[in-house]
Chain A
Amino acid sequence: MVVDTTTCVGCAACVIACKTENAVADGYSRDWIFTETTGRFPDLAMTIQSERCMHCEDAPCISSCPTGASHYGPGGIVLVNQDKCSGCKACIAACPYGARFIDPNVGAIDKCTFCAHRIVNGIPTTACQDICPTESIHFGDLNDPASDVSLLLEEREHYTLLPEAGTRPKLFYLK
């Protein structure tokens, strides 16, 4: 996934769309808007990031999971099999991005799935991407050099969050 921070206005439609699409438990969210304002008034600059699970290539949540509930799904998406989850919360402690929570209705881990249920059913977009009024969210196959996301990363300057954590995140932000 690629998020364009230059066009994102922080409207939080992605947050609401996700809650609706995935029936996320009350009081929790799988994605969220992070806003940082820096500078000296009146010369202020604002960075807005739509954040969620980074679907890391080397995901510490998966390596710390004792039951195999956390696993790599199709295309490297980080998924949780709630039937296998004991709610030990090791993955919450292992994740440097704070992307995971306990679904109080199930007692198991819940998190962003990159809308895998849509992808496997032939809908090639995520709910947050669909709703985005400024089309700041792009989703696709990073292994395909001709995909929208690959071309954006080819052309534009970008960054990932906490690269020093060594998890190789698969959510990229354009500057």
Chain B
Amino acid sequence: MTLQEITTTRANHLIDPVLNVWHGEVALYLFLGGVVAGLMVITGLRVLRDPEAPPSRAFALLPWAGPILLSIGMFFLWLDLEHPFNAYRFYLAFRVTSPMSWGAWILVAIYPTSMLLGWITTPAELRAAVLKRLPLSRTIEDIGSWALANGRVIALLNVVFGIGLGIYTGMLLGTLAARPLWNSAVLGPLFLTSGLSTGAAFMLLYRLTDQERILLGRVDMALIVAELALISIWLIGLASGGSPARSALGLFFGGPYTAAFWTMVIALGLVGPLIGEALEQRHGAVPGRMAAILVLVGGFALRWIIVYAGQYAGWVSDLAAR
């Protein structure tokens, strides 16, 4: 038998035997970022389509969930940093080739735009009640009335920055040429679509009107179908790539992530809720929360598995030492 023996004196637990730099914190951030992207796009589009219609109270207040969920996600992302007190350095630079730099600046833009959208859609009597209790209420009222007068612009900015947020969370991984499982241009659109779907699912957890639930349920079905298509394209891309890409694909076909990927992401997270929502629509039922919960679990599993499996696959996958 031909011998091939490799030894290395390299000591680096972050690289050997497989890349080991990003963990659950990053997966959670990517998931929450996706949900926020979905919330911003959906609530923004609603205002653009129908600026006057009074939606349910839950729908009206849900834009506020964006900055809250984003703050939780960013806290976990901050925990992932090895030098957390240098986080401000992200804001002393803009690096056009680094998706992480784009993301850092998009996050800054998201806070004011999503909060202004929340202000616009919050019922007037609630706004008045809140203003009474807040300091600087005059300034807030001035900003608020400017926002109310420019509702369409703010809604549009929410859609734009929401799409930016959703795409960047995927491109962050997709631009890393050294990691063949991630290195796909489809990852951006895939994470955006998954984000929109989980955003719709997150909204379905709240008390919406029947009409809103039916609409969101339909939207979610379309998004799940799109997501399945994008996952297929991603996997086909890997299958038709060079040996690192095909080797990375093996992680989902017999490799260590096979069971997790096909059960948690495909079956429970996508096909299951798709069938559930299709049955609901077919029988004229109002979409409930079960499918939504599954979509959220699946969306989280997708991020988690891609973050971990992607680190398992190297450029020279059979020679991890290299």
**Interface residues in chain A, defined as those with a beta carbon under 8 Å from any beta carbon in chain B:** 12, 15, 27-29, 32-41, 44, 51, 60, 63-69, 83-90, 92-96, 98, 101-102, 106-108, 161-162, 165-166
Contacts and interface: CB of A to CB of B under 8 A. Distances in A.
Contacts of B311: 93
Interface in B1-40: 1-16, 19, 21-22
Contacts of B322: 34, 98, 161-162
A98 B10 contact: yes
A162 B14 CA distance: 20
B98 interface: yes
A166 B242 CA distance: 15
Contacts of A89: 14, 21-22, 80, 82
Given A86-B82, A87-B82, 7 more contacts: A15-B9, A36-B4, A98-B16, A98-B322, A102-B14, A102-B82, A107-B86
B10 A51 contact: yes
B12 A101 contact: yes
Contact of A36 (B6, B22, B89, B176): B6
B178 A95 contact: yes
Given A35-B6, A66-B104, A94-B176, A86 B12 contact: no
15 contacts: A12-B9, A28-B11, A29-B11, A34-B7, A34-B10, A39-B2, A41-B3, A64-B100, A84-B92, A86-B84, A87-B83, A87-B86, A90-B100, A93-B179, A101-B14
Contacts of A98: 10, 12, 15-16, 322
Given A32-B9, A87-B82, A89-B82, A38 B2 contact: yes
Interface bracket on B: 35 or more
B93 interface: yes
A36 B10 CA distance: 14
Contacts of A68: 93, 95
A63 B100 contact: no
Contact of B321 (A34, A41, A162, A165): A34
Nearest to A47: B6
B98 A63 contact: yes
Given A29-B12, A33-B9, A93-B179, A40 B2 contact: yes
Question: Among B1, B83, B92, B103, which residue has the most Cβ atoms of chain A within 10 A?
Answer: B83
Indicate the member of B1, B80, B322 with the most A CB atoms within 10 Å: B322
A41 B179 CA distance: 35
Nearest to B104: A66
Nearest to A12: B9
Contacts of A106: 83
B281 interface: no
A69 B89 contact: yes
A85 B10 contact: no
A74 B312 CA distance: 35
Closest 7 CB pairs of A and B: A87-B82, A32-B10, A87-B83, A66-B101, A107-B83, A63-B97, A96-B178
A171 B21 CA distance: 25
B154 to A, nearest CB: 27
Contacts of A90: 98, 100, 172, 176
